[in-house]
Amino acid sequence: MHDISSLIRHHGLLIVWLSVLGEGLGLPVPSFAFVLVAAGSMYASGGAALVELGVIAFVAGLAADLVWYVAGRRFGYRLLGALCRISMSPDSCVQRTESIFMRWGSSTLVVARFVPGLSVVAQPLAGAIRQAWTPFLLYDSVGLILWTGSALALGVIFSSAVDDVLDALSRYGTAGAMLVAMALACYVIYKLVRRHLFIRHLRMNRISVGELNQLIEDGKAPMILDVRPNEVQQAQGVIPGAIAVTRETLDSIPASAAGADEIVVYCACPNEASAVFIAKHLIERGFRRVRPLHGGAEAWLAAGFALVAKQ
């Protein structure tokens, strides 16, 4: 690590493979911003070497994406929940990605790696919603080619500037490597702090699926609000009696509903993120007792309760 540019020159293919594969599997590795751009700069004068780098990066990225896609098909939303619980960007996880994916389909994979949050769960979500193999491979490959090609192209275009930065770091030897490590550590700490604040914001009392089902069976069904994307509701169904609501249509809930004994909000997000945001907004508007459904729609299905077709 005393000579960063020499390290990339001598072990460029291995470093690109490991960094792209590691980032694709969820490790906080800045493969685009640092490794691929730097490698593109190092190999700017060698056309064949650049092609090798591109192929290695593409194969590594596709390998990681296939792992997540197959895992998504096998474990469904349970995997997505686990991913977002350990993700450093849980607030931008399933809900937004699911909405985008349902609207744009497999073409979402073309831009997934360029969008923070979307890149975390796009591939396992494609598996979870049973996207066919052919469109997945086609669009994911196009996205990987664009992602890899743009990074290498930036390295070639700005090769002199990248070389200057790497040479400056190399001249400082261990200090330069420490500077890079400190920058990465600061990035990870920043994301962890944001995650901690976000999780703390989500703390509030929840209702279990068993409690909700019992209320429905006893004829004391509360007002139930489904805040999942419309496309998901249409495809999977809703909890019996649920009303579709979005953040944009919250104000359409009549004020008279504030007198309801109970309002239950559910989504398909890890930590019930979207449901909590909606619940807190309703409480601020004066609604008396609002609780998110613990585990959301996935927990409802896992408990053996049925979803019904959306009316």
Average pLDDT, the chain: 78
Residues 6 or more apart from 3 whose CB is under 8 A from it?
A: 170, 173
Q: Scan for tokens 């999780």, then name that residue.
A: 199
Q: Scan for tokens 């004068």, then name that residue.
A: 45
pLDDT reported for residue 2: 42
pLDDT digits (tens, 9 = 90+) for 264-284: 999 877 677 788 888 888 888
Residue 249 falls within a domain, yes or no? Answer: yes
Residue 309 falls within a domain, yes or no? Answer: no
Last residue of a domain, one of 201, 225, 255: 201
153: buried, middle or exposed (CB in 10 Å: 19+, 13-18, 0-12)? middle
Mean pLDDT value of segment 295-310: 90
Indicate if the pLDDT at residue 1 is higher than 50: no
Strand partners, 243: 225
- Hey, what amino acid is at 166? L
Other residues' Cβ atoms within 10 Å of the Cβ of residue 196: 10
pLDDT reported for residue 266: 93
- What's the rounded Cα separation, in Å, for the pair 133 and 70? 10
192 shares its domain with 276: no
Of the segments 24-28, 51-55, 141-145, 165-169, which one has the largest average pLDDT value?
A: 141-145
The C-alpha torsion from 90 through 117 and 265 to 242, rounded to 10°, is -150
137 shares its domain with 219: no
Last residue of a domain, one of 184, 201, 218: 201
- Hey, what amino acid is at 79? L
Residues 6 or more apart from 68 whose CB is under 8 A from it?
A: 24, 25, 123, 124, 127
pLDDT confidence of 239, banded at 50, 70, 90? very high
The C-alpha torsion from 45 through 51 and 56 to 60, rounded to 10°, is 110
- What's the rounded Cα separation, in Å, for the pair 27 and 172? 27
pLDDT digits (tens, 9 = 90+) for 30-63: 666 667 777 777 766 666 677 888 888 899 999 9
pLDDT reported for residue 10: 65
Name the domain count of the chain: 2
For the chain, the C-alpha Rg in angstroms (whole number) is 23
Q: Find the largest Cα–Cα distance for the chain.
A: 75
CATH number of the CATH domain containing 248: 3.40.250.10
Residue 160 falls within a domain, yes or no? Answer: yes
pLDDT reported for residue 177: 63
- What's the rounded Cα separation, in Å, for the pair 223 and 273? 19
Closest CA to 78 of 125, 113, 19: 125
Residue 308 falls within a domain, yes or no? Answer: no
Say what percent of the chain tops pLDDT 90.
20
- Residue with more model confidence, 231 or 107: 107
251 shares its domain with 142: no
Question: Containing domain of residue 126, as a range?
Answer: 4-201
Q: Report CA-CA distances (Å) from 247 to 13, 55, 280.
A: 47, 43, 12
39-48, 213-222, 240-249: least confidently modelled range: 39-48
Indicate if the pLDDT at residue 70 is higher than 60: yes
Evaluate whether 223 touches 259 at the Cβ level (below 8 Å): no
pLDDT digits (tens, 9 = 90+) for 91-139: 445 556 666 766 677 788 998 888 766 777 788 888 887 888 999 999 9
Say what percent of the chain tops pLDDT 70.
70
pLDDT reported for residue 158: 76
155 shares its domain with 215: no
Residue 307 falls within a domain, yes or no? Answer: no
Evaluate whether 62 touches 239 at the Cβ level (below 8 Å): no
- Hey, what amino acid is at 225? L
- What's the rounded Cα separation, in Å, for the pair 98 and 118? 9
